Structures are given as structure tokens and as C-alpha cells.
Amino acid sequence: MAIVTASTVRTSYDVIIVGSGAAGGQAAYTLTLEGASVLMIEAGRNFDPTTAPMLQTPDQAPLRGAATPDKQVGFYDATVNGGNTIPGEPYTQASPEPEREFLWWRARMLGGRTNHWTRVAFRYGPYDFKQKSRDGLGCDWPVAYEDLAPYYDKVEMLVGVFGTNEGLENTPDSSPGCLLPPPKPLVSDLLFRQRAAPMGMAVVPCHKAILTQRLDSQNLPARLHPGNAFAQKIVRESMESRAACFWASDCVRGCGLRANYQSPTVHLPPAMATGNLDLLCDAMAREVTVGADGRASGVTFIDKSTGKEGHARGRIIVLAAGSAETVRLLLNSKSPLHPQGLANSSGLVGKYLMDSVDISIRGQIPLLENLPPHNEDGASGSHVYAPWWLYREQRAGKLPFARGYHVQFYGGRQMPTARTMDSLEWVTSGSYGLSFKQDARRYYGSFVTLHGLGEMIPNEDCSCDLDPQVRDRWGIPVIRFHWKWSAQEMRQAAHMQQTFASVVSAMGGRVQGRLEPDETKILALGGCTSHEVGGARMGGDAATSVVNRWNQAHDVANLFIVDGAAFATSSDKNPTLTIMALAWRAADRIAAEMKRGNL
């Protein structure tokens, strides 16, 4: 690989990829291993997660790890100069109503938000691709689960995902050899499983992109790239450089072992090793240019170090900048042949933006007090979760909302934080001296959190467009968000709240804080989960969608949108694994069509 600058970019490439996260990293990996020359344009800084701080305790961090303007989640989060606000890179809201605000998380760094995520890696299920056929709401995807299943297998084998096959409804099993063994459940997990079972909830191991053992580097490369000895050799060497997690650090810091999935440690090293990838960092893509034939011809960008404009030419353009950023780039790419923005003859670019329905409840469980000291370090985040379990009741019309949610459970005795002290003060009403020490020992590990993520149904009130007046520091028009949760999501959140409170009660505990009786006030702002998808949705009809079943723009044959913007609907499952599966599938299509001379 070559780290290039605006002045050293080559004359032309087979493929230009905008974005370096889950979608961009996956596309670059697949295409370079198939021999394509690729330029990756990244708006943020270069970043090597293996150099990030791992083993320090909170007292060793500047400001005890507290948030700062350039470290908005604190010292131990890998993101620098990223977050919901970035100096010089604003976005706006269409409505002045506070509850209609949308928060937009951006990680301006190599790897994007793969440096800042929970590593939860669920497959979408068969229902998730055909929801309109089931309940008449939203729209169906032009692909089915069976189309993506082989790519889910590939992504799980490549990145390393732990979990189990449980045979549950709309929670697909993986093929043999795809999943790594999960870590053992914590004591609090076992109590959750026991007390949730009478409520019909199956509590099973979570699926997370963290290595619990080394990857099978001798056999997996041939399964991933049959007949491609060049790719197999490179992937084998990359897998051998990764070690299993030893549960000593939170994943969002970065990982010197390359034990978790981040694009700069998993996707990009083999792509770099091919010699086919050029990486251009600190370059803000401004416009996808088109030729006289209306086809994409390249990408115009701003060199952030100099403020000067540059241009790179490519035979094929792949957008993977994240849903809203991809929409912004498409809408800013206007020309006489594409007056509404690139790939926007349907007028649907920016429409039907979605996020996850997201609430949490925290409780204190007396049964978990005064446990003997024991080592409960484990995977970063949750070890277990409960998939949605009320499909039958929903089909029978017994629930006031159409889609489901899953429950991630957090407990255990990890390193105390400031939040631990807040919870301690809640149960003790404050203590000090010897009493404080006794209270800390008694209550340590007795706090649990139930976190729900649910499916949002696409609606016409949620979209993004260009602000007619506001521009960023480089003069590029910024995104303006339109947002409104529907009654479907509000009722779902109310059900989550009551269910979680019932689980805490069944565990013999009590809920911290009060339950919100007004369902219109339960949900957090849109964007808080950083799961925005949609905005350039996939479909079979050019009049009602932006891309086809191969993530290829209906209007521009050599333009592909491989990030979450292409999602036709959301799901209760976290979107990252599906983003990677779709990107791999699209990249395979690009490589095949290039070889046939069709692209």
C-alpha cells in the first residue's frame, strides 16, 4: 500500500472508495484481493489502533478519563476530533422542536466508526428483509436472507465473531465453523437467564466481533477465497498476526492484539499487503464528478491540510462514507445530467432515514451483593442477550406496535467508574470513611443494565437534505436533518420500559430512577445509537429506490453505494454485520463485472 497525498494520487484507478469503515474496508479488502487498483479517500486522520492505550486504569488517564471537546467519550475512546459535534463541520435541524433533533456521530479517522462500536454482530433474519409482506408496513428488500447468508458466513470467518447457534425464530444460525466459542456467562447473566425464562425470553450468548481464540489461519483462507492462492496467502498472514482477547481492556480504546474487529486492523492490512490500495487521509470528498455520458468519472475532494481542491479519476466509484455522509455527497454532486443530485431521479436520496429504537434501564439486585471476590473480566460489553421473543403475539395483533426489539444485558464486576459511584450514592444516600468502604464492597457488582434496541419503521418524516444556507469550513453545503419518531416506535419503547422493569423486579431488584409514564417522552433523540441507515434505499424499481439488489445505482451504472444508506428497512439487530455482508457481495459483483468488461 502507498500512503498518498493530494499531489501523489495516481492518474486513474479501477475503483475509488469514499470511506474506510465497515463498508469501505470490506469493499477495499475484496476488490484489492481480486486485483483491482483502489484509491480509498478518508475524511479523517490516519490511525493505527494497535498503538492505542490499553491497560491503564481510569486514574492513569488525563482528567480521569473525562470527556473533552476533542475526546467526546473520554480519553479511552479511540475517537479524536469526532463525535456529535466537529469544529468547522456543522449540520443543522429542520425543526426547532427539541424532540425532533437528530444527533449525528462522525468519527473522522481511518476506520470510521469501527473504532467506536460495541462489536455486536448479529445477522438480520429472513423476516427482516420482507417485513412489508408480513405486516404491510415499510417496504421489502429486493434480496432475501438466502442471498446474504453466504456473505454472513464469510464476514464471520474473516473478522472473528463469537456466539452460538440456538435455532430461534428469525435469529439465523451460522454455518459450521463460522462462529468462535463465546465467553462464559457472568454470575449476573445466569440470574438474568433464570428470572427472564418464565417471561418467555431466551437468554443466549451475544454475538460479538472479538476473538475468543485464534482464527484457523490454515483452513479459513481457502473457504473465503477458493481458487485464489494470492488472496489465501495474504489472508493467512493477516490472520496469524491476530491474537485472542485476554479481557484486559475496553474495545473502544483500540486493540494492540488486533483481537477485536476494526477496519484498520482486519480489513485494511490484507488490502494494503496486495500493493493495490492507495490510502488518502484528511481528504473531504466534495463531489462525485460525471462525464458527458452521465457516468461517474471521479471524486473531487478538499485536502484538509492545505484547503486546496484535488481530483481523482476512477473507472468505478464506491460510496461507503456512512448513510448521511453518502447522502450529502450525492446531493452535492449536481450536474446538468443529474440536476437533483447524483442517482436521484427518483427524488428519494435522503429519504427514509432510520435509527434504532433505544432505551436502557438500570437496576440494583440485592442477590448480587456481597459476592466473594472473583475475576469477572470478560468481553467488552454484554456476554448475553435476549432476541425478540413475541413474534406470535405480534402476528395475533396482541401488541400495539408492529416490530420487535432485543435485550442486551450488562452486569458483572468490571473496573469501577464514575457511574459506579453515582449508583452507590443512589442506594446509600451517601456515605464516607469506613461506611463508604463497606458500602463499596457490599454493592460492587450488584448493578445491572438492560439495554434494548428495536426496529424503526421507515417514515416520510425522517430524512436529510442540504441546508440551503449553511456550509462547512471548506464551503461544502451541510446536511439538514428532519426527524420524528412515529407512534410505532414510542409504543415499542414503552413496552421495553415496562418489560425491563419487570425483569429487574423478577431478579429481586429495584429500578434506578422513575419510569416515564408518557410514552411520547421515553425515547432519546434520533441518532443517539449511531445506527443511522437508509437515505439511498435498495429496490427493484428505479422510480421507488436508489440502488438495485447489487447496491448499484439505477441511474449511474458505475456507481455503487455499499454502506447503510442502501438499507430498505432497519431491524432490531445491530446493522454492522449486514453492512459488511452487503459490501462484500457488491464488491464481488463489481470484480466479476469488471472482468467481463461490463464496468
Total residues found in the chain within this entry? 599
Which residue would you say has higher pLDDT here, 55 or 557?
Answer: 557
The CATH number linked to 110 is 3.50.50.60
CB 267 within 8 Å of CB 587: no
Q: Is the pLDDT of residue 65 over 90?
A: no
Q: Is the pLDDT of residue 374 over 90?
A: no
Mean per-residue pLDDT over the chain, rounded: 95
Query: Per the confidence metrics, is the pTM higher than 0.95?
Result: yes
381 and 446 both lie in a single domain: yes
The verdict on residue 235 lying in a domain is: yes
Segment 388-409 shows an average pLDDT of 97
What is the model's pLDDT at position 597?
Answer: 94
The verdict on residue 597 lying in a domain is: yes
374 and 408 both lie in a single domain: yes
Reported in sequence order, the residue ranges of 165-238 that DSSP labels E, i.e. its strands, are 179-180, 204-205
The verdict on residue 63 lying in a domain is: no
Q: Is the pLDDT of residue 282 over 60?
A: yes
If phi > 0 it is left, if psi is from -120 to 50 it is alpha, else beta; for residue 227 that is left
At 419, the pLDDT band (50, 70, 90 cuts) reads low
At 305, the pLDDT band (50, 70, 90 cuts) reads very high
201 and 216 both lie in a single domain: no
What is the model's pLDDT at position 484?
Answer: 97
Q: Which of 473, 501, 522 is the last residue of a domain?
A: 522
542 and 517 both lie in a single domain: no
Tally the domains of the chain: 2
As to burial, measured by CB atoms within 10 angstroms (0-12 exposed, 13-18 middle, 19+ buried), residue 218 is exposed
Q: Is the pLDDT of residue 481 over 70?
A: yes
| Residues linked to residue 364 through DSSP beta bridges, in sequence order | 447, 510
3 and 147 both lie in a single domain: yes
The verdict on residue 89 lying in a domain is: no
What is the model's pLDDT at position 418?
Answer: 63
What DSSP letter does each residue of 354-372 carry, written as one string?
Answer: B--EEEEEEEE-GGGTTPP
143 and 132 both lie in a single domain: yes
Write the pLDDT tens digit of every residue in 2-11: 899 999 999 9
Reported in sequence order, the residue ranges of 353-497 that DSSP labels E, i.e. its strands, are 357-364, 384-386, 405-410, 447-454, 463-471, 477-482
281 and 196 both lie in a single domain: no
CB 151 within 8 Å of CB 470: no
The verdict on residue 84 lying in a domain is: no
Write the pLDDT tens digit of every residue in 520-540: 999 999 999 999 999 999 999
Q: Which domain holds residue 337?
A: 1-46+104-163+208-355+460-465+534-599
Q: Is the pLDDT of residue 312 over 70?
A: yes
313 and 281 both lie in a single domain: yes
Which residue would you say has higher pLDDT here, 379 or 541?
Answer: 541
What is the model's pLDDT at position 401?
Answer: 97
Reported in sequence order, the residue ranges of 277-338 that DSSP labels E, i.e. its strands, are 277-280, 283-290, 296-303, 308-319
What is the model's pLDDT at position 417?
Answer: 67
Q: Which of 139, 79, 142, 149 is nearest to 112 (CA)?
A: 79
Q: Is the pLDDT of residue 274 over 90?
A: yes
The CATH number linked to 392 is 3.30.410
Write the pLDDT tens digit of every residue in 541-588: 999 999 999 999 999 999 999 999 999 999 999 999 999 999 999 999
Q: Which of 477, 494, 522 is the last residue of a domain?
A: 522
d(CA 345, CA 554): 9
Q: Which residue has the cell 469514499?
A: 18
The verdict on residue 177 lying in a domain is: no
Q: Which amino acid is at 376?
A: E
The verdict on residue 448 lying in a domain is: yes
426 and 493 both lie in a single domain: yes
At 52, the pLDDT band (50, 70, 90 cuts) reads confident
d(CA 53, CA 109): 16
CB 269 within 8 Å of CB 29: no
Q: What is the largest CA-CA distance in the chain?
A: 79
372 and 512 both lie in a single domain: yes
Q: Is the pLDDT of residue 1 over 60?
A: no
422 and 370 both lie in a single domain: yes
What is the model's pLDDT at position 16?
Answer: 98
| Residues linked to residue 310 through DSSP beta bridges, in sequence order | 301
| Residues linked to residue 64 through DSSP beta bridges, in sequence order | none
The verdict on residue 306 lying in a domain is: yes
Write the pLDDT tens digit of every residue in 125-176: 999 999 999 999 999 999 999 999 999 999 999 999 999 999 999 999 999 9
264 and 155 both lie in a single domain: yes
Per-residue exposure over 29-52, b if at least 16 CB sit within 10 Å of its own CB, e if not: bbbbbbebbbbbbbbbeebebeeb
At 248, the pLDDT band (50, 70, 90 cuts) reads confident
Q: Which of 592, 580, 193 is nearest to 385 (CA)?
A: 193
CB 181 within 8 Å of CB 210: no
Segment 45-59 shows an average pLDDT of 84
What is the model's pLDDT at position 550?
Answer: 98
